[in-house]
Amino acid sequence: MINKTEETIFSKIIRKEIPVNIIYQDKLVTAFYDKYPKTPVHVLIVTNKIIPTINDITTDDEIIIGRLFTVAKNIAQSHGISESGYRLIINCNSHGGQEIFHLHVHLLGGRSLGPLVVS
């Protein structure tokens, strides 16, 4: 069972207690470069509110979820990858590959990612 109010490493990044290169922050979301990038552009966009998984989103969170996607679009544009393309990934729970239980989007781009292959 996931504690829905449990602090995460992302909570500390949002509060700037852990130094990272924050590229965007407002009252709803924070975006920063992934520490272990998988592509030339690999940005994490996290909700400032602790929402453990997609399954925990409520109707009250709709504006936050919308902001995740508009920020992703703007970051892709500012990194020059919006025209060539990019991928947004959200993992949900352990079988979905989620490792940190604080809702976040991976923005991946900067090279051809090919088709999504599930093994």
The residues assigned a catalytic role are 104
How many Å apart are CA 111 and CA 69, to the nearest integer? Answer: 20
Q: Which residues contact 36 (CB under 8 A, 6 or more apart)?
A: none
- Residue 88, beta-bridge partner list: 107
Question: Which amino acid does the sequence have at 106?
Answer: H
- Quick one: which of 28, 7, 29 has its CA closest to 17? 7
